[in-house]
Homo-oligomer: A and B are copies of this chain.
Amino acid sequence: MKIITLGTGAAVPTLQRGHPAVLLWWQGKYFLFDCGEATQVQFRKAGLKFSRLEAIFISHLHGDHILGIMGLLMSLELSERKKPLHIYGPAGIKEYIETSTKLMNTVFNFEINITEIRADFNLEEKGYSIRALPLEHRVFSLGYSFREHNHPGKFYIEKAREFCIPEGPLYGKLQRGENIELPDGRIINSHEVVGKAVEGRKIVYCGDTRPCLNAVKLAEEADLLIYEGTFEPDALDKAKISGHSTTLEAAEIALKAKVKKLIITHISSRYHDEEHLLGKSTEIFPSTILARDLMEVEIPLKREE
């Protein structure tokens, strides 16, 4: 499981920082959070495979967060995609994609499932769950969490043999945490032969937002929080007016939510001096990384307790 920050700039892209796009790579699948202009170019620069893209999650409908969608869809079509693509985002995303598709005389030969999210949202998929909560920006803006389901604990085969459990489907039941009854009437509890489940990892992405309770709630105990820090700590007024956060506020959210690691992204084009931009953020929350375009961050599996 890893994160690739494809684009780490804000409204004005620079030669160093493209428009926002963050990719989560999980079990051979890609989950994309926001899709700014030229995201498909970043895909190519990172050597990513278009076919692995599973879903796109859009935080809000400002241009810098969505202008790469149509180009990316076109590249999926040209790569002869057949499997469906899921797109989640605020109301309006469907009209944007459908109008653009119509006017550009484009036909997509794969299904595009668009889900418009208007309030708290939960989605259960095989192996992971998605949650979205509204944040606070100038327009309706969503934060997303991706939570991997727990991994089954280690199966102690020697113990299973000691209990004379016949190999086969009963092993699977035990591993999934179920208790079983043997032909001779003995009951075996799962925890007698299976170690503790390994907790799934949790990744949270907050696009454009002022610090808010929902951001803390969503990020609670995440392994990684990717959060916007458009401005330096001293530019709080600018952050308030524009509905953004400072890097210090990003660190405060990370601290409050007790996350393990913080990536600050969505950096205004005015900053070239990283130390100045971060200010005392790293004192407040030392596990802070300032995103760079095409940066990769691994999120290791938690160790069995």
B-binding residues in A (CB < 8 A): 11-15, 18-19, 37-38, 40-41, 44-45, 61-64, 66-68, 70-71, 74-75, 78, 92, 95-96, 99-100, 103-106, 138-139
Nearest B residue to A99 by beta-carbon distance?
B99
* Residues in chain B near residue A15, CB distance under 8 A: 41, 44-45
Bound complex: CA of A186 vs CA of B126, how far in Å? 96
Chain B: minimal CB distance from A262 (Å): 27
Given A37-B67, A64-B74, A95-B99, 7 more A-B residue pairs with CB atoms under 8 Å apart are A12-B75, A12-B78, A15-B45, A37-B71, A63-B74, A96-B103, A105-B138
* Residues in chain B near residue A19, CB distance under 8 A: 71
Bound complex: CA of A75 vs CA of B63, how far in Å? 11
* Residues in chain B near residue A138, CB distance under 8 A: 105
CB < 8 Å: which of B37, B62, B70, B105 contacts A38? B37
Nearest B residue to A37 by beta-carbon distance?
B71
Bound complex: CA of A63 vs CA of B102, how far in Å? 11
* Residues in chain B near residue A38, CB distance under 8 A: 37-38, 41
Bound complex: CA of A64 vs CA of B71, how far in Å? 7
Bound complex: CA of A71 vs CA of B40, how far in Å? 15
B63 touches A104 (CB 8 A): yes
B99 touches A139 (CB 8 A): no
* Residues in chain B near residue A68, CB distance under 8 A: 37
B44 touches A13 (CB 8 A): yes
Q: List 23 A-B contacts (CB under 8 A).
A: A12-B75, A13-B41, A13-B44, A37-B38, A37-B68, A37-B71, A61-B103, A61-B105, A62-B104, A62-B106, A63-B70, A63-B100, A63-B104, A64-B71, A66-B104, A67-B70, A92-B103, A96-B99, A96-B103, A96-B104, A99-B99, A99-B100, A105-B139
Nearest B residue to A65 by beta-carbon distance?
B104
Question: Knowing A38-B38, A38-B41, A95-B99 touch, does A104 contact B74 (C-beta < 8 A)?
Answer: no
Chain B: minimal CB distance from A231 (Å): 15
Bound complex: CA of A40 vs CA of B37, how far in Å? 9
CB < 8 Å: which of B11, B44, B105 contacts A74? B11
Nearest B residue to A93 by beta-carbon distance?
B103
Chain B: minimal CB distance from A33 (Å): 18
* Residues in chain B near residue A78, CB distance under 8 A: 11-12
B75 touches A71 (CB 8 A): no
CB < 8 Å: which of B37, B62, B100 contacts A96? B100
